[in-house]
Amino acid sequence: MKQMKNIVILTIAIFAFSFTVSAQGYAVGDMASDFKLKNVDGKMVSLSDYKDAKGYIVIFTCNHCPYSVAYEDRINDINKKYAPLGYPVLAINPNDPAVSPGDSFDAMVVRAKEKDFTFPYLFDDKQSVFPKYGATRTPHVYLLDKTDAGNKVAYIGAIDNNHQDAAAADQKFLEDAIEALRNNKQPEPNFTKAIGCTIKVAKK
């Protein structure tokens, strides 16, 4: 009887652990689902819109976070460099403007114009996309490799190792991961810790 009770407890624990892991979003190697979000130009944008893409650089970012602001020019440069090579940037603002007023859609439009963003800046207005990915910070990067089976998560984490000074960053995690894919290799590392502000979620 005691042994049966222990088995039941163990089964519940395993199930609970599995649920917790799956609820945390994608891991490297998972297939990422598509999304359809409003861009600052008013148009709806999906991964599937990029027919010739070899992969996608999905970056959860925002207006107000100093870490995100510090990376804006670098994200622009990465898109200019890699979009023509088949790896476009799609930036997503996951914050609730009721919690973070500076991250409203109207503010996004202004910021995109001020910084001359060369990539779509999308609004996760229902906060339904970032939980699927498991994003917790801004910025938080998900590099997807477009395969016959779907969009495979190849790298998760930070853009580089110095948010304060781009010139001082001596480990360019995202660019190294993209170059690995371009050379038919697996990124190494394929996961780093995202450094930034927490995503602002609506109180329920």
Give tens-digit pLDDT for 159-176.
Answer: 999 999 999 999 999 999
CATH number at residue 41: 3.40.30.10
Residue 14 has pLDDT above 50, yes or no: no
pLDDT tens, residue by residue, 42-94? 999 999 999 999 999 999 999 999 999 999 999 999 999 999 999 999 999 99
Q: Look at residue 13 and tell me if it is in a domain.
A: no
Q: Look at residue 15 and tell me if it is in a domain.
A: no
Give the residue from 29, 190, 159, 197 showing the smallest Cα distance to 81.
Answer: 159
Q: Look at residue 42 and tell me if it is in a domain.
A: yes
CA atoms within 13 A on the CB side of 96: 10
**Burial class of residue 69, CB neighbours in 10 A (0-12, 13-18, 19+):** middle
32: containing domain:
27-198
- What 8-state DSSP symbol labels residue 101? G
pTM across the whole model: 0.89
Q: Please name the residues in contact with 22: beta carbons below 8 A apart, sequence gap of 6 or more.
A: none
- The domain tally of the chain equals 1
